[in-house]
Amino acid sequence: MPMYDSFVMGIFFFKYLCVGYIFQNLPGGTFNDVVRILLSIELTLTFPIVIKPATDVMEEILKNVLTVRIKYKIILCKLVNLFLLSVLQKSNH
C-alpha cells in the first residue's frame, strides 16, 4: 500500500513538472545522455521479464480451453461413430 501512496503523492506534487515521455524529464548533458542510454537498455531488457507471467497465464488458459474442446470433439466423434455403426448395422439386417 505505501507504493500506491507514494505514487499518488508524486502525481499530486509533481503533476505539472513531468512530461509524458520519460526521457524528456531528464535535462541535457553528457551524464544525462549516458543515463538515457542505460535507461533505454534497462527498459528493453526488463520487458520480457514483465511480460513472461502474462504469457504464462494466457498459455494456461488456452491450454485448458483447448484440452476441453479436444475432449468434447473426441466424445462427439465417438458418438457419431456409434450412431453410424448402429445405422449401418440396421441397414445390413
pLDDT of 40 reads: 84
pTM of the model: 0.40
pLDDT of 14 reads: 74
39: exposed, middle or buried (Cβ count in 10 Å: 0-12, 13-18, 19+): middle
Alpha helices in 16-29 (DSSP H): none
Summarize pLDDT for 33-68 with one digit per residue, the tens: 888 888 888 888 888 887 888 888 888 887 877 777
SS3 26: coil
pLDDT of 3 reads: 59
Residues 6+ apart with CB under 8 A from 18: 25
